[in-house]
């Protein structure tokens, strides 16, 4: 699981993590935006909350995330949950569905950095890649020309989302304190990934050693 304030770098780090570890990236925000784009009833309802930077009601988000996690690819390759859970009720629902995370990564970023990142954030609708006009500019003019901005990526709206984040983050953290790794998200995206990569690598080593132990015991 990866968590953090709006624009703390969750989506950017998920791109790098899934490239290296082959996990299925399940981002609640992306699932919701897909429903909004599809014009579904859930999407129409969700947009009302998203525009105010408020959490979309559990009865929409929880089922959406659960169905995605139950798909074979997530079961086979493992999942990287991004932007969920954002409340204790969402964390409890996940546990009741039998989904237990191995690691909870919390990206920690200074507030003024977050606002600057949001205002400059752009998305490539063709590849889904995340860019920043100043810190991670598009590689080509062609990409630059088609970049879009999220409807909730304005200075006024990110302040609302930050408020929502601060209201909920402690309750969620308290449920994963034994597996939480806090990562300094103010660094460059590659330096942040280097830290996350070393933690994941160590976890895999432990897992292998552990299974080796179990195998040895069976023999």
Ligand X SMILES: Nc1ncnc2c1ncn2[C@@H]1O[C@H](COP(=O)(O)OP(=O)(O)O)[C@@H](O)[C@H]1O
Least distance from ligand X to the Cβ atom of residue 13, Å: 12
- The binding site for ligand X (CB under 6 A) comprises 6-7, 10, 28-29, 32, 49-50, 53-56, 61, 83-84, 86, 90, 152, 161
- Give dist(CA 91, CA 71) in Å, integer: 19
* Beta carbon nearer to ligand X, 54 or 180: 54
- Report the nearest approach of ligand X to the CB of residue 131 (Å): 14
86, 55 in Cβ contact below 8 A?
Answer: yes
How many residues in the chain? 219
As given in the structure block, the two tokens for residue 16 are 């790098």
180 or 203: whose CB is closer to ligand X?
Answer: 180
Cβ-based nearer residue to ligand X, 29 or 200:
29
Give the pairing of strands 121-123 and 130-132. Answer: antiparallel
User: Largest alpha-carbon pair distance within the chain?
Assistant: 62
CA neighbours within 13 Å on the CB side: how many for 116?
Answer: 9
Strand partners, 79: 24
Closest to 8 (Cα-Cα) out of 83, 80, 59:
83
Q: Which residues are tagged catalytic?
A: 10, 86, 121, 150, 161
Instruction: Kindly state the smallest distance separating residue 175's Cβ from ligand X, in Å.
Output: 14
What is the SS3 string spanning 13-41?
HHHHHHHHHCCEEEEHHHHHHHHHHHCCH
Nearer to ligand X, 68 or 86 (CB): 86
Which residue is nearest to ligand X, using beta carbons? 29
Answer yes or no: are the C-beta atoms of 105 and 195 closer than 8 Å: no
Q: How far is the CB of 88 from ligand X (least distance, A)?
A: 12
């Amino acid at each position: 699981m990866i968590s953090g304030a709006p624009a703390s770098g969750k989506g950017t780090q998920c791109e790098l993590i899934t490239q290296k570890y082959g996990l299925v990236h399940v981002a609640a925000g992306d699932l919701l935006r897909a429903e909004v784009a599809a014009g579904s009833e859930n999407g129409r309802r969700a947009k009302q909350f998203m525009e105010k930077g408020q959490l979309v009601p559990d009865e929409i988000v929880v089922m959406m995330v659960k169905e995605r996690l139950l798909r074979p690819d997530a079961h086979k390759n493992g999942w990287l949950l991004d932007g969920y859970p954002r409340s204790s009720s969402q964390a409890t629902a996940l546990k009741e569905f039998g989904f237990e995370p191995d690691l909870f990564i919390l990206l920690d970023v200074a507030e003024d950095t977050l606002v600057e990142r949001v205002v400059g954030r752009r998305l490539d609708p063709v590849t889904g890649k995340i860019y920043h006009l100043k810190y991670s500019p598009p590689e080509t003019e062609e990409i630059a020309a088609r970049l879009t901005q999220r409807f909730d990526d304005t200075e006024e709206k990110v302040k609302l989302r930050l408020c929502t984040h601060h209201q909920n983050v402690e309750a969620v953290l308290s449920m994963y304190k034994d597996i939480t790794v806090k990562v300094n998200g103010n660094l460059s995206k590659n330096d942040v990934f280097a830290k996350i990569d070393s933690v994941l690598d160590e976890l895999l080593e432990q897992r292998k050693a552990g299974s080796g132990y179990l195998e040895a015991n069976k023999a």
